[in-house]
Structure 1
Amino acid sequence: MKTVCLLLLTACLSGCFPARLYIKNTPVFPVDVFYDNQRPERPFEPIRDLEVSEETPVRDGQLVNKRLLKRGNDMQDKELLLARLTLQAKKLGANALVGVKYTYYTNATDNGYSMRGLAVRYRDEQPAQN
């Protein structure tokens, strides 16, 4: 009887709770990205400061009982901002973005955000192709 119960329990657990495989999804950008507290090891020449910014209305999910409880953007929104910034850098012939900073503000009706960084070209490489 114990063997039958154990087999049924094992069958139920394997069928009821399928195995999960979690994969870390790391985005790939067209240029190297170094945040404010990082620096590339290679020498570089600055090209130009870049910035993307936008203001969007407060979303329903941010409000609970008319109180603003969730501020800023989620990781997917931040990755999209960074993608826009890296594409601008690539168009300028940059190899990397250095000193990337993300800032945001939230008030009763709007979310505002900006992401900025310095587009640079590595000294030992040719300009990136568009």
Structure 2
Amino acid sequence: MTDNIILGQKGETLAQQHLEAQGLTIRSKNWRTGRAEVDIIAQDGNTIVFVEVKTRSSDRFGPPEFFITPQQQRMLAGAASVYCEKIEHPGEIRFDVISIILRDDGKTKLEYLKDAFWPGL
């Protein structure tokens, strides 16, 4: 595996642990539909939460969450629609971002951004 894939997997594991510590239930990881993939789908009460995890080794080029493009937001929204239809979820949804920096010196910075974006707005 490439270093980027390993870094991403470590980030997703930390993100999952963080969400569970916040009381969310993990429903799915790396859920795919078509070309879209949702890193983590969780449940927070009656709300289905679609979580994008961005992991970098530094913030030299900006915080990891800055690299979520409008196109990626639209793809996540489409995937969320398919997922909610599949499980017949009539309730609320939310798009969160977990931004992680895993430095070479072992230091980790994790930021949890609830309601980080709403695609199309």
TM range, smaller chain: 0.3 to 0.5
Flag the structure with higher helix content. Answer: 2
Greater Rg over alpha carbons, structure: 1
Q: TM-score, normalised by structure 1?
A: 0.32
Question: Taking CA–CA contacts closer than 8 Å with sequence separation of 6 or more, which of the two structures ends up with the larger relative contact order?
Answer: 1
